Each structure stands twice: as C-alpha cells, then as structure tokens.
A and B are shown apart, each in its own frame.
Chain A
Amino acid sequence: MRFYGDGIPGVHPEELTGRLIVMEGADGSGRSTQMDILRDALENKGHATVNVGLRRSTLVSDELKEAKQGNVLGEITRSLFYATDFADQLENRIIPALKAGFIVLADRYIYTLMARDIARGADRGWVRSLYGIALVPDLVVYVKVSPAQLIERNLRKNATLDYWESGMDLGLSRDSFDSFISYQRLIQKEFALMQAEYGFSTVNGNLTVRSVAKEISLRVVDILGV
C-alpha cells in the first residue's frame, strides 16, 4: 500500500497486507446498507473484516458529537477536529487491521471530509496536504444518488432533513429543502472534481438495493480478486 502524501511517521506501508475498501455517498444513498451486504458477502467467503467510519475515534468522537449540537466550532477548527478523529482511527484501527491481513471496510473516508471542507471555503491545497496522512484505498466505491432521490429517502426515514447534511451552516438558503438540494449539488461537484485525481468507482445509487449490491460486488471481485 502507499500513502497519498508524507504518510504517518513510523508506519511502513509495505507491511500492510490487508485490503482497504471505502464506500462514499451522502446520507440516504444506501451506503450503509451496501456496506452490510458487502461485509456479509466477504465474510461468507472467509475474509475477516473490520468496520470503520467517521466520528468513531476514542480520542475525539464524544467531543465532536457535542460540538455538532451547537455551533461553537470555527471552520478550520472543525476541519482539524475531524482530521484528528480520522487520524486516530487510521492509526489505531485501520493500520493495525491491515497489518493483520483484514479487509477494512470504511463507511466514508477522507473524500467526504475534504468535500465538506472545500464546500465551506477551505483551500484545496491545504486540505489535500492535511490528508496526505491517509492510505490510498484499494477501491473507493462512490454511491451516487440524485439530490431529489436523496431527499425522498431521507424524509421517508426521518421525516426531517439533517442540519449538517443540508449544509444549513453555509447559509445557502434558510429553507432546509432548498439548502439540502444546493448543498448536495456542491458536494457532488466536489466529488466529480476529485474523481479524476482519486479514481472513484462510481455506482448509480438510484437503482434498487439488489442491483447496486450486484454492481459493487462485481467491482470488488474485479479489483481485489476476492
């Protein structure tokens, strides 16, 4: 394996014999459902897996949850808080599992964090260097769903749109529906820009759960040979 940038001091990527599969996509894209299906399929074939996601670090996850409730963090501070959360999981969960030969399934990775930061005005070069600590995954599946479809699924599930997933803090619109559409378009635009550089495997998430799963499974077999 290799790092995007300078990497992590003391970690030798050639010692990492496991695989890293990332699933990206907005809330309501079916990302988590697809993650579960993929894990079942891999374990069924005898592969050991480890799940990671955002805001799950021992170090700062509680503080991040707290900060999400109120609007107390500045933009740079929030970016760095998320980066700390990511780095903690990278070093304490992802890398040890990869050393032990596991398949690590990441429910979102640096791309969501980068897109969110950039949508909020962060400098692209700054963000890219910040996440130079990240390992290059073996496969990044990007489950892409149209904003209109996302709204429908989110409303069916929660009957309300999440403040942050609607990007309400950006002041795009005071109406959460309008803000959600504009914000998700912004994020999708960032993903489209990142696509060339990071080589996402984009899957049409507007299709049924079963056909999306089939598509993902094909790509996993194709790239990993597992």
Chain B
Amino acid sequence: MIVSQDRGRYPGRLIAVEGLDGSGKSTQLYLLKRWLEMKGLKVFFTEWNSSLLIKKATSKGKKRQLLTPTTFSLIHCTDFADRYERQILPLLKAGYLVLCDRYIYTAFARDAVRGCSPDWLHNLYGFACHPDITLFFNTSLQIALGRILGGRPQLKYHEAGMDLGLSSDPYESFRIFQGKIYEEYLAMKDRFRFIEIDGADPIEAQQQKVRELIAAEIDLAHYRSRTIV
C-alpha cells in the first residue's frame, strides 16, 4: 500500500480547495479549471463524495439514516480511496494538474465534529498525500450561511448535521454544525499550510488572486498537453 506523504516523486501537481458550504470554493475552482484548460494544460477535476462505485451505498445509508459517525466517516473515506487509487494517484503520476473540490481536510473537520477521534481520522487518511496547494476560502460564518440559507433550500439530513442532535430545526442545526466545522478549519489552517482566500471579495478579484498564486507556485508551461487533438 502506498502510504506516502512524499509528493515530490510524482510529476503532477495536486491543488485542493476547502471551505464551508457557501464559501464560493466550487465557483473559484471551476473558473481555475476553465483557465487551465484553455491554456491547453493537462487538467483533471474530482469532487468529494462522487465515486460511482460507492455512491449507491452512501445514498442508501443516508436515505435510510443507517449511518453513525464511524460508518459515515468510513464510507466517505472509501469513496475518497476509490477516487484516489483509480484517478488522483495515476493522474499525478501521468503529470496532470489534479484539482480537488474538497480533500481530506473536509473529513478531518466534519468527522471530528461528529465525534470521531482526530488521531484515528488522520491515520485513516494516511494513505493520501497532502496537496501541493490547498486554498482555503475563508468566509465569515454569517456570509456562508447567508448564501446557503438565503433561498430557504431543502437541507438534507446529514448536510444539516441533523444526525448530531444539535437542534430539531434543520436551519438552526445547519447553523450550529457549520459553526463547529468552521472552528475545525481555523484550527487546521496553519498546520496543513492552507493558503487563505477572502471569500467575501468579488468573484473576479478572488479568481485573479487564485490564478496569480497558481502561476507563481507551479511552472504551468510544464503541464501543457502534448497530445495533438
């Protein structure tokens, strides 16, 4: 098994975005991806909780509320492992720029809030390498909540953290849950060298900053696709 934090051995580069729901991270990663693609670079995008293989089990577990903090954590880790083993790692080896919408830190934050032991979680994800660049979209809790709750959406049970029994009102539960996750992010940001982006800035200004950062950190020309289309 590849238990490696040593990213240097692979020619590819791994870029992850983290942040609360409503922090704008997905929008920014999408714009980054478009920019990289249009420059003709080898880019691969993957998002949290999207392995086709595991999806059925995850949605069954969520729908029937079969999941406990431990199985919730394990099934999301299984999902991540499937994407890691079959896509992220091979593509890094193939010299791709791999973009991840949420990475292991999402699990560290959420599962810790659900009561899983941090040591156990860090070991669980020990097979995964840390990203070259982790962008943390730091938005005040108020702004993030406002963006999500503004439209009074139908919140899903686990999304609202209802399984934690924080409140019987889904919106109130979501607020408390997101607040706890935000604290976990703040506690992690230095340890895992997150680069902070102010998620309250205009979209264009954030994207400008993201592109500058990426161009400064990575020799982009090196990742040009050599395949003639």
Q: Which residues of the other chain, B, contact A62 by a CB distance below 8 angstroms? A: 57
A126 engages B85 (CB within 8 Å)? no
Using a Cβ–Cβ cut-off of 8 Å, how many residues does chain B contribute to the interface with A?
35
Q: Which residues of the other chain, B, contact A122 by a CB distance below 8 angstroms? A: 1
Q: Which residues of the other chain, B, contact A72 by a CB distance below 8 angstroms? A: 53
Q: Which residues of the other chain, B, contact A6 by a CB distance below 8 angstroms? A: 117, 119-120
CA of A81 to CA of B78, assembled, Å: 6
Chain A residues touching B, majority SS: helix
B123 engages A59 (CB within 8 Å)? no
Which residues of A from 71 to 101 have beta carbons under 8 Å from B?
72-77, 79-81, 83-84, 87-88, 91-92
Using a Cβ–Cβ cut-off of 8 Å, how many residues does chain A contribute to the interface with B?
36
Q: Given the known A-B contacts A59-B75, A74-B81, A75-B1, are A126 and B126 also in contact in the complex, defined by CB atoms under 8 Å?
A: yes
CA of A73 to CA of B84, assembled, Å: 11
B82 engages A129 (CB within 8 Å)? no
Q: A22: shortest Cβ distance to chain B, in Å?
A: 19
B120 engages A132 (CB within 8 Å)? yes
CA of A122 to CA of B127, assembled, Å: 10
B71 engages A63 (CB within 8 Å)? no
Closest 9 CB pairs of A and B: A74-B85, A9-B115, A6-B117, A129-B123, A80-B78, A84-B74, A77-B81, A77-B82, A76-B81
What are 26 A-B pairs at a CB distance below 8 A? A5-B120, A8-B68, A9-B69, A9-B115, A10-B68, A10-B69, A59-B61, A60-B75, A62-B57, A72-B53, A74-B84, A76-B2, A76-B81, A77-B78, A77-B81, A77-B85, A80-B74, A80-B81, A87-B71, A88-B66, A122-B1, A126-B123, A126-B127, A129-B123, A130-B123, A132-B120
